[in-house]
Structure 1
Amino acid sequence: MTTLENRPDTALLVIDVQKGVVGEAHDRDAVVANVAALVDKARAAGAAVVWVQHNSDELVSGSESWSYVPELVRDEAEPLVQKEYADSFEATELESVLAGRGIGRLVVAGAQTDECIRATLHGAFTRGYDVTLVRDAHTTEDLTSFGAPPPDKVIAHTNLYWRYHKAPGRTAGTVSTADVDFGPAEKPADEPVE
């Protein structure tokens, strides 16, 4: 249903599950286990797995904190996109990676919910992608000292608003890890099937 032409395929987008990002994250072990299960599920279904890795003053390329967590191992054939901004599309090669693989639907997991996950959800959606957030496979750290809600509330709110997000010709929504389907998105009942 994506508004992108000739892009019928689905990819799992794994965002910033790096040691320095999720080290103190809410429910870290359960979320990382769910991301690992999604990676296995995507590979078994023949769906692309695209990895995104943040670079900053705190996450210096090649450093320990910059590295992905040991529970997640990228296959050498799977794309790895380096980024410097919250939106994984901003000033990166992500769009060309997805276009080259005919991908119009994204299943999103990773960190941090209130920054890179949200920015990428919106960035993908405004670019024409169908975007599904895996509600039990994203997390954030406790930023209450900066005035943010507790992490479980940030996650719950993001799941709530993305579940009901809408725009013409695109789909959004949430799904649990157990219920993720890496096949093509189904057309809503009110649209004709071609």
Structure 2
Amino acid sequence: MTTLENRPNTALLVVDVQNGVVEGAHERDVVVANIGGLVERARRERVPVVWVQQTDERFVRGSDDWRIVPELTPDDAEPLVEKGYADSFEETTLETVLAGLGVGRLVVVGAQTDECVRATLHGAFVRGYDATLVSDAHTTEDQTEWGAPPPAQVIAHTNLYWTYHAAPGRTAGTAETKNVDFGGTS
């Protein structure tokens, strides 16, 4: 029910699943495997997969930390959007890419839950997209040293509030990997 006109399609948006981002992430291997399964399903169902990659002074283009994790391999035909801010839409080509694909609904996975995933969800929603967060396909590192809750609580809280997020003309929500429906609202 996106507010974007002539945007009937869904895309899988894979946010920052890079070596340096998920290296110490909570349940990294499980989350990466779930993302990998969704990427393969999306490809089989001819759903666009759009990759987002943080590029900045910490994640320098070409460095090992910058690279997508080895378990996931973007196809040469799949768009890859580089970003410098938490919100994947901010000063990037993401909106242009999605418009070209006729996408009005996003299924979002990736890292880090408490920064880039949240910012991208909100960025999509305020721009008129429907946005489904895959509840078991996003992760974050332990930032309790700086006063954050433990990673499992950060993930659970994000899943809780995104499940009930609402705004006129748009839908939000969560779905487990096994229940993701690329054809409609999950």
Distance 1:184 1:152 in 2: 28
State the distance in 2 between where 1:161 and 1:44 align.
31
Q: Which moved more, 1:104-113 or 1:175-184?
A: 175-184
Count of aligned pairs between the two proteins? 186
Whichever residue aligns with residue 104 of structure 1, its letter is G
Which residue is equivalent to 1:192?
none
CA distance in 1, matches of 2:149, 2:185: 33
Which residue does 1:117 correspond to in 2? 117
Q: State the Cα RMSD in Å.
A: 0.7
1:180 maps to what in 2? 180
Shift of 1:185: 3.1
Residue 184 of structure 1: how far off its partner (Å): 3.0
* 3-state DSSP of counterpart to 1:159: helix
Matches for 1:31-180 after TM superposition, within 5 Å: 31-180=31-180
TM-score (norm. length: structure 1): 0.95
Using structure 2 for the length normalisation, give the TM-score.
0.99
CA distance in 2, matches of 1:103, 1:56: 27
Deviation per CA, 1:102-155: give whole Å up to 9, x if none: 000000000000000000000000000000000000000000000000000000
Unaligned runs of 5+ in 2: none
Percent identity at matched positions? 69
Give the aligned partner of residue 16 of structure 1: 16
User: Which structure would you say has the larger Rg?
Assistant: 1
Kindly provide the amino acid, as one letter, of the partner of residue 7 in structure 2: R
- Which ranges of 4 or more aligned residues in structure 1 deviate by more than 6 Å? none
User: What's the CA shift for 1:57?
Assistant: 1.4
Deviations for 1:25-52, whole angstroms, at most 9, x for unmatched residues?
A: 0000000000000101111111000000
Compute the displacement of 1:58 (Å). 1.2
